[in-house]
Each structure stands twice: as structure tokens, then as C-alpha cells.
């Protein structure tokens, strides 16, 4: 789905203190050198007519890997809590399906709101986690009723895939080139647009490209799921690369929220695609 593509860490200036519009271009700060020491740095704009200064950045601290891990844990905890509430309460009220559709649409809007903000908003990030948690709880409950045990398998597969991707990124010293980034981002956006059209088509009565939740599965549906999972994993690589660059370039500590948000968006997408693929295999 469109809301599950990662528009946050694909932005060229996501973690770039010296991004265009702030006085310098992305590549001007040498790798590992603090861009705040570069001549001409003006800082992130705080609001209309306001600017951050180097003193502000030193006061709030710089982004670290520990910050990203901590913020990601907070975002994921909110998501899991919301999912647990939706899982346990909504089925008894008979509201699982309508709330699932509503939360999917609201989650998409919140993703856009976070994406287009120059300065990351922690309340919006946590709002996304809560809304997306409701969606995850609804869709997980729906699949679990049809295929008992599938949710545990999908959760395990999601964290296993993320762990293997991170290990491969670090141990094999994977470097993200501009060409690789462009291919992944364009492919993700194209796939997301196709899935959005497919989602709308399925709501108005068509079976969609992937067929229904039950019934026979075509080879084409398997292929779509395989492509989606590969793209989600490649987006994880982009996430790790952008976070690493942000830390190396001395991005402000508040940017840890953006990193946590980007990772959560990708992990949710990967989980949903694994859930669907496992449902194919269980039929």
C-alpha cells in the first residue's frame, strides 16, 4: 500500500544539516566531519522567521544510534499497545473491518503530514504509531481467524528479515550509491501507486491483482508479494544508510524521531507483506 512505502528517509535532506536551502549542498561536509563547523551553516529553521543556531544544536545534542534505537522502541511500543487494544476490543463490537479501512486511510494521511514537514514532529510520529497500531491489530485479527498461528509467524519473519538485513549491511559493508537509491525509490513509488489503485479497485467490488483473502492464489499474486518483500528489505537498507549518514554528519538529536518513524513505516510494510505471503502458503 502507498502508506507503507518509506517517504521519510528517501528525502535527500532528511538527515542533512547542510542540505540545499540551508547554505550548502549535501556532499560538502567531508564524511565523518561535523557539518556544524562548516562556514555558512545556518541551522534548521524552527518556524517562520526563526532559525536554529550552532549553540541551539549543542544544547539539544546530536543524533546517535542509541537515540534512534530508543525512539524506535518507543514508537513500536505505542504501535503494539494500540494493536493489542484493537485486537481485543473491536471484534466484540463488530467493528474490525470498518475500523481497519478507516485507520488505513488516516494512517496514510498522517504519513504524508510527517513526510512534508521540514522539522520532524514527535507527536505526529506517535499519532502515526497509534493509528497504524489499530490497523495492524485489525488486519492481524482478521488473518488470525482465517489462518491460526499466522501472526506469530509473520512477526517472527519480520524481525528475522530486519535482523539479517542489518547484519548484512554492517558485516558486508554495503554502500548505498545514488544509482541504487534512485532505483529503489522509483521502484517503491511505482509499486505503491499500483497497490493504491489495486486497493481502491478491490474496495469497489473487484478482486484486485492479488485476489481475495481466501480462495485460489495465482502465480502473479505470489510474484507481487515477492517483489513487495524485496522492496521492503531494500528500503531497510536505505533506512540504515540514512541513519548512519545522519549520525556521521552530526544531525540534531530530534532527527532520531525521523529515523524511528522511517524504520517503523518500513517494518509495518514488511510485516503486512509477509502476512499476505504466509496466507498464500497456508491455503
% of the chain residues with pLDDT over 90: 45
pLDDT of residue 212: 66
Condensed to tens digits (0 to 9), the pLDDT of residues 105-118 reads 899 889 888 888 88
pLDDT of residue 211: 66
- Lowest-confidence region among 63-77, 137-151, 207-221: 207-221
3 vs 146, which has greater pLDDT?
146
CB of 18 closer than 8 Å to CB of 234: no
Report whether pLDDT(228) > 80: yes
pLDDT of residue 199: 75
Report whether pLDDT(9) > 60: no
Distances in Å between the alpha carbon of 269 and those of 106, 196, 265, 266, 273?
A: 16, 13, 6, 5, 6
pLDDT of residue 219: 86
* Per-residue cell: 203: 474496495
Cβ neighbours of residue 144 closer than 8 Å, sequence gap 6 or more: 150, 151
Cβ neighbours of residue 90 closer than 8 Å, sequence gap 6 or more: 96, 99, 137, 138, 141
pTM of the model: 0.76
**In this structure, what are the phi and psi dihedrals at residue 118, rounded to the nearest 5 degrees?**
-65, -45
Average pLDDT over residues 59-72: 85
Gap between the Cα atoms of 157 and 58, Å rounded: 40
Q: How confident is the model at residue 38 (pLDDT cuts 50, 70, 90)?
A: very low
Condensed to tens digits (0 to 9), the pLDDT of residues 234-252 reads 999 999 998 998 899 888 9
Average pLDDT over residues 185-189: 92
Which residues in 92-110 are b (16+ Cβ under 10 Å) and which e? eeeebeebbeebbebbbeb
Average pLDDT over residues 177-185: 91
Go through the chain and tell me how many residues it has. Answer: 283
Average pLDDT over residues 128-138: 95
Largest CA distance in the chain: 63
pLDDT of residue 207: 61
C-alpha triplet 214, 3, 166: angle, nearest 5°: 90
Distances in Å between the alpha carbon of 50 and those of 20, 23, 55?
A: 17, 15, 14
pLDDT of residue 117: 84
CB of 257 closer than 8 Å to CB of 120: yes
59: left (phi over 0), alpha (psi -120 to 50) or beta: alpha
Tell which residue, 153, 197, 171, 138, has the closest CA to residue 2. Answer: 197
CB of 184 closer than 8 Å to CB of 234: yes
Query: pLDDT averaged over the chain?
Result: 79
pLDDT of residue 3: 35
Amino acid at each position: 500500500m502507498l502508506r507503507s512505502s518509506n517517504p521519510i528517509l528517501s528525502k535527500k535532506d532528511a538527515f542533512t544539516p547542510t542540505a540545499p536551502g540551508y547554505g550548502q549542498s549535501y556532499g560538502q561536509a567531508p564524511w565523518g566531519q561535523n557539518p556544524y563547523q562548516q562556514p555558512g551553516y545556518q541551522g534548521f529553521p524552527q518556524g517562520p522567521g526563526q532559525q536554529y543556531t550552532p549553540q541551539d544544536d549543542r544544547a539539544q545534542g546530536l543524533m546517535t544510534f542509541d537515540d534512534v534505537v530508543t525512539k524506535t522502541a518507543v514508537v513500536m511500543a505505542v504501535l503494539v499497545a494500540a494493536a493489542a487494544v484493537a485486537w481485543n476490543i473491536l471484534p466484540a463490537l463488530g467493528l474490525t473491518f470498518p475500523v481497519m479501512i478507516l485507520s488505513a486511510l488516516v494512517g496514510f494521511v498522517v504519513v504524508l503530514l510527517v513526510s512534508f514537514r521540514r522539522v520532524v514532529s514527535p507527536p505526529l510520529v506517535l499519532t502515526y504509531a497509534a493509528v497504524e497500531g489499530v490497523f495492524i491489530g485489525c488486519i492481524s485479527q482478521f488473518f488470525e481467524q482465517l489462518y491460526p498461528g499466522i501472526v506469530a509467524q509473520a512477526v517472527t519473519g519480520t524481525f528475522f528479515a530486519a535482523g539479517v538485513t542489518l547484519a548484512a549491511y554492517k558485516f558486508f559493508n554495503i554502500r548505498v550509491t545514488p544509482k541504487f537509491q534512485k532505483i529503489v525509490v522509483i521502484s517503491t513509488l511505482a509499486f505503491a501507486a499500483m497497490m493504491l489503485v489495486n486497493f481502491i479497485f478491490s474496495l469497489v467490488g473487484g478482486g484486485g491483482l492479488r485476489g481475495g483473502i481466501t480462495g485460489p492464489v495465482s502465480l502473479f499474486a505470489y510474484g507481487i508479494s515477492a517483489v513487495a518483500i524485496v522492496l521492503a528489505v531494500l528500503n531497510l537498507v536505505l533506512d540504515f544508510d540514512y541513519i548512519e549518514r545522519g549520525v556521521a554528519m552530526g544531525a540534531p538529536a530530534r532527527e532520531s524521531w525521523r529515523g524511528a518513524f522511517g524504520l517503523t513505516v518500513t517494518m509495518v510494510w514488511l510485516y503486512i507483506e509477509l502476512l499476505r505471503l504466509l496466507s498464500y502458503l497456508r491455503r
